[in-house]
A and B are shown apart, each in its own frame.
Chain A
Amino acid sequence: MDLFQQRLLAEGIRAVEGDSPALSTPISEKPGVSFDKSVLQRALQLDSQLQISALFSHFKDLTKNLFTLLSVLLFVVGASSVQQLFFSEQGTQINFFWAFVLFFIPNFITLFLWLLFFLQPNLLSSGWLARLTLFLLKTVEKRFNPQSTKHPHFWTLFKCYFKVSFSADLGRYQLSAVTHLLWLSYFCGATLMLVMMLATHQVDFIWQTSILSLANFQWLTELLAYIPNLLGFPVPNLEQIQQSHLGAVNVIADAQNSRLVWSSLLISSLIIYGLAPRFLLLLLMQFLLKIKRKQFSLNLSKPYYVQLRQLLKPNVTSLGISDPDTFKVAPSNHLHSEMACHQLPSCFYPVAIELSATQLIECKKHVKQYSPEQFELLKHICDFQSQQQLLNEIVNVGPQAIVLYVTLSRLPDRGLLGFIKSLTALTTKSFYLLLIDDALIESSHLSKRRSDWYELAAQADISLDNIIQFKINKKPEAR
């Protein structure tokens, strides 16, 4: 399968999958493979389930057969038109220029049109030729191949295949090639028939006119005969041209020769002006088609491929866990989530722990209100030095109660726990935990946070009855 076919196959898979890659494939790829390649690999893998390439080659054959059929048809048309045009009447005279015009004017017109559309692809927006071909293909398929349409994705793939081969540049070259092919077979038929008829019939070539002069005709004929002459075909000379005017003269000896040269001119101009250009154009189109096929690429910025890239080439790989935890943590119990409302002792030693500036202000207000004598003693513990200082002093403080001001917006961590633990271990004084709730954390997290603090209290030997909550509003005012 060449690259074009593989890409076509990938497009087929896309058509089957629809908007986003849904079919799963075993990812069996080496790390070095580019995304482009892995898309094709995936397509090949999926093809064995979906049988898409078989269907595609069926479509290819179908197109080929259709085009062959058409060209045979045109071959026959070409042949019979020669017979019709030249040899139908009883007479044995052929009006040379009329014959020429009949043959070539349609050819030139279509050639011109083709060129126009070829160079200006936007002129014909919706390719009628493509539609016509599609219509033909559809009809043929429905009529002659009803069982192949049983493939579950037949029409999807049908659309997909012909969309690729009949649209954009590919379609332009493909359809151009077809038109040239058809004209070529038409001319082939015509030329062959002409040779056969001329070989077996005796006709005289004449020309006639109402408005043109003899000189005009001479000039025209010479013009026409110029290239055949160069190529060595016998062509009529001046005298023979004059003689052929309405079959004016018939010198017996010359008549034979005259027939020969005129026939030769007719056949050679059919070949040179009809057959050869179409043949060359056909070759050119096929060459361009081949190049375009090689250039055919998947549009990887389409949402489908962007998603596929995420699937096939995830840009994250897990490196796993190192340094795993050796012992399990006991699940924390969430028993203490209810609001506790206990009384503060009347005289206490205040300690603020890790508060922000605004929280500290609130804390001071609170101390002033409830234990004014101790206000001067208030300490803010927020680093190693202050911790050590407090640990040294705690045994000697006067009041029997110590109130630790902490905030709910701070998370109780192991460091804090360790510190409070060592505090409570030092004296037998009773400790209180005052939780400042300044509504900084979201209410959904509040109860979890509160129970974390209760847990800390439990671990640090602070009685749960000694936990007090203190709410402050956004507009700071103590209650």
Chain B
Amino acid sequence: MSKNGLSVAVVGHANAGKTSLMRTLLRDTEFGEVADQAGTTRHVEGSALLIDETNSLALFDTPGLEDSIRLFHILSGYFADQSVDGIERLQYFLAHLSEYPELEQEAKVLRTLLNNDLIFYVIDLREPVLGKYRDELQILSYGAKPIIPVLNFTKQGGDNLEQWKTQLARLNFHAVVSFDNVHFNFSDEMKIYQKMQTLLADKEELLQNFINQRQIQWSERFNAAREIVANLFVESACVRFKTVNSEQEIEQATLKLQQVVRKAESKCVRRLLKLYQFRKGDLENSELPVEQGGWQLDLFSADNLQEFGIKLTGNIAKGAGLGVAIDLVTAGMTLGAAAVTGGIVGALWGVKLRYYDEIQAKIKGSRYICLNDVTLQVLWLRQIKLLELLQKRGHASFDKIDYQVSLHKQKNALPKNWSKWLRKLRNHPNWSSLNVNSAELEDSKRLLFIEQVSVEMVNEL
């Protein structure tokens, strides 16, 4: 039907998931109409995937075949005593359509069949191999077009897989592909196109271009998504609010901190949804759970201390935390060298460089608060889960995306560099745009770090 490139007709029994297949391949949640009943689609509707400036792969959705037994009976009844090929039978039928008004939907399918280069025959794997499906395949083979049976509902209908495969082989269909519209798998999609390549030898190069392009788009999108997530992680790990050191003020600042981070998270989620071309409504409403009050004093993290070679022993580490270090700086090494192992001067210099603001804050009676580790972990795991779900979600899905994580599961593994990352991020409060005075965000070190995180994210998925 299209002038350039390739055209494919998507046919199958009613409710087999033809329109859903279109949606998933086109990444278009709005295409056509999908419902769990026969005869949802009652027209032929097309959409084209661009291959390059001049070529495209056109896909046509058709009404479902519903009365193939009758149709096949009619078709094989023609020219009873002559040997006439299938196409002529189909054409004869279409010419005499007025005699069979109730087969109008089937006629639309047949016309599309004759007009296109290739056929996807969608199969609902939950169904047993019934006579009507065999008849459908017979009718389609009259069209003398290459046919790729696409096995849908692979999740629920896995038991029937072998039965279908043997039946299809007996009817001479060998280029079978499994492709679930809801539980999407990109490599399965590629397999469809690769099968097309083997069936359409003269379009092999064109299809190869198309496959390459699809792959580039896919990885481009994945990379972009990971960058978005890495960015959120950096933003939330680096954010810190200054507050006066009173319970009330701290509580207020904590609330504000939570709010800001939650907002950033939901913004990130919306961006991801948009990037993956899903609807906003696909999302299960879920707010970032804030663990253990959600905040901590940046200063008192033991990790931070160790970075500067300060190893506090015993009670000091537990109780005083960095207060010790501050006292060292402010009151001038009151504790003496015994409390500190490692180069004191170097450590102090490091502490001064890094904690200048905090120390000043402490002297002036205010403090900094930031997101605690557990909350950050939850935030991270949620985004990873979401990304995973998006990668595996077909555009025909109706169930909601739920990316809630429970913290107590075994499989919630954090990246192996997690604590290293955190230490680094805590040391760069200026990397977060959520802070009040955010500095240059395009800092090259920050960009480098984001890249590093998003590269390692591949291992997490």
Is chain B a partner of chain A in the same complex? yes
Complex contacts, A167 vs chain B, CB 8 Å: 442, 444
Complex contacts, A419 vs chain B, CB 8 Å: 69
List 11 additional contacts besides A302-B227, A319-B45; criterion CB under 8 Å.
Answer: A303-B228, A307-B224, A310-B277, A317-B48, A317-B56, A322-B45, A322-B60, A323-B43, A382-B130, A413-B14, A419-B69
Can you spell out 7 A-B residue pairs with CB atoms less than 8 angstroms apart? A319-B48, A321-B43, A323-B108, A355-B128, A384-B69, A413-B38, A414-B39
Contacting residue for A315 out of B67, B102, B217, B274, CB 8 A: B217
Q: When A306-B221, A323-B108, A414-B102 are in contact, do A316 and B27 touch as well, CB less than 8 Å?
A: yes
Q: Which residues of B contact A (CB under 8 A)?
A: 1-2, 13-15, 26-28, 36-39, 42-50, 53, 56, 58, 60, 64, 66-70, 72-73, 102, 104-105, 108, 111-112, 126-128, 130-132, 134-135, 156, 217, 220-221, 223-225, 227-228, 267, 271, 274-275, 277, 440, 442-445
The complex places the Cα of A167 from the Cα of B440 at a distance, in Å, of 12
Contact B43 A383 (CB under 8 A): no
Contacting residue for B67 out of A322, A383, A413, CB 8 A: A413
How close is A37's CB to chain B, nearest CB, in angstroms? 12
How close is B428's CB to chain A, nearest CB, in angstroms? 12
Chain B, residue nearest A410 (CB) = B127
How close is A132's CB to chain B, nearest CB, in angstroms? 14
Contacting residue for A384 out of B1, B72, B221, CB 8 A: B72
Q: When A316-B50, A415-B68 are in contact, do A323 and B56 touch as well, CB less than 8 Å?
A: no
Complex contacts, B46 vs chain A, CB 8 Å: 318-320, 322
Produce 1/0 per residue, A241-258, CB < 8 A to B: 000000000000000000
Complex contacts, A354 vs chain B, CB 8 Å: 130, 132
The complex places the Cα of A319 from the Cα of B4 at a distance, in Å, of 13
Contact A383 B134 (CB under 8 A): yes
Complex contacts, B127 vs chain A, CB 8 Å: 356, 410
Contact B275 A384 (CB under 8 A): no
Chain B, residue nearest A446 (CB) = B36
Q: When A318-B46, A321-B44, A384-B135 are in contact, do A448 and B217 touch as well, CB less than 8 Å?
A: no
Stretch at the interface among A174-182, A214-222, A267-275, A324-332: A324-332
Complex contacts, A229 vs chain B, CB 8 Å: none
Contacting residue for A303 out of B14, B37, B271, B445, CB 8 A: B271
Contacting residue for A448 out of B36, B50, B60, B64, CB 8 A: B36
Complex contacts, B47 vs chain A, CB 8 Å: 316-319
The complex places the Cα of A90 from the Cα of B66 at a distance, in Å, of 114
A64 at the interface (CB under 8 A from B): no
Contacting residue for A19 out of B1, B37, B271, CB 8 A: B271
The complex places the Cα of A421 from the Cα of B449 at a distance, in Å, of 70
Complex contacts, B217 vs chain A, CB 8 Å: 315
Complex contacts, B221 vs chain A, CB 8 Å: 306
Chain B, residue nearest A20 (CB) = B271
Contact B130 A418 (CB under 8 A): no
Chain B, residue nearest A315 (CB) = B50
Interface residues of A in 287-315 (CB under 8 A from B): 301-303, 306-307, 310, 315
A365 at the interface (CB under 8 A from B): no
Contact A31 B48 (CB under 8 A): no
Contact A418 B70 (CB under 8 A): yes
A378 at the interface (CB under 8 A from B): no
Contacting residue for B131 out of A316, A382, A409, CB 8 A: A382
Complex contacts, A324 vs chain B, CB 8 Å: 43
Complex contacts, A163 vs chain B, CB 8 Å: 440, 442
Complex contacts, B49 vs chain A, CB 8 Å: 315-316
Contact A383 B128 (CB under 8 A): no
How close is B126's CB to chain A, nearest CB, in angstroms? 7
Contact B39 A329 (CB under 8 A): yes
How close is B315's CB to chain A, nearest CB, in angstroms? 39
Contact A448 B220 (CB under 8 A): no
Chain A, residue nearest B61 (CB) = A321
The complex places the Cα of A317 from the Cα of B54 at a distance, in Å, of 13
The complex places the Cα of A318 from the Cα of B445 at a distance, in Å, of 44
A69 at the interface (CB under 8 A from B): no
Chain B, residue nearest A32 (CB) = B53
Complex contacts, B131 vs chain A, CB 8 Å: 382-384, 386
Contact B43 A325 (CB under 8 A): yes
The complex places the Cα of A382 from the Cα of B127 at a distance, in Å, of 12
Chain A, residue nearest B221 (CB) = A306
Most B CB contacts (10 A, CB to CB) among A357, A414, A448 go to: A414
Chain A, residue nearest B13 (CB) = A413
How close is B37's CB to chain A, nearest CB, in angstroms? 6
How close is B429's CB to chain A, nearest CB, in angstroms? 15
Contact A384 B73 (CB under 8 A): yes
Complex contacts, A48 vs chain B, CB 8 Å: none
A138 at the interface (CB under 8 A from B): no
Complex contacts, A382 vs chain B, CB 8 Å: 130-131
Contact B2 A319 (CB under 8 A): yes
A429 at the interface (CB under 8 A from B): no
Contact B37 A411 (CB under 8 A): yes
Complex contacts, B70 vs chain A, CB 8 Å: 415, 418
Contact B36 A306 (CB under 8 A): no
The complex places the Cα of A126 from the Cα of B428 at a distance, in Å, of 13
| CB-CB nearest 6 A-B residue pairs | A383-B131, A319-B46, A415-B67, A414-B66, A303-B224, A356-B128
Complex contacts, B271 vs chain A, CB 8 Å: 19-20, 303, 307
Contact A20 B274 (CB under 8 A): yes
Q: When A159-B440, A302-B227, A317-B56 are in contact, do A322 and B66 touch as well, CB less than 8 Å?
A: no
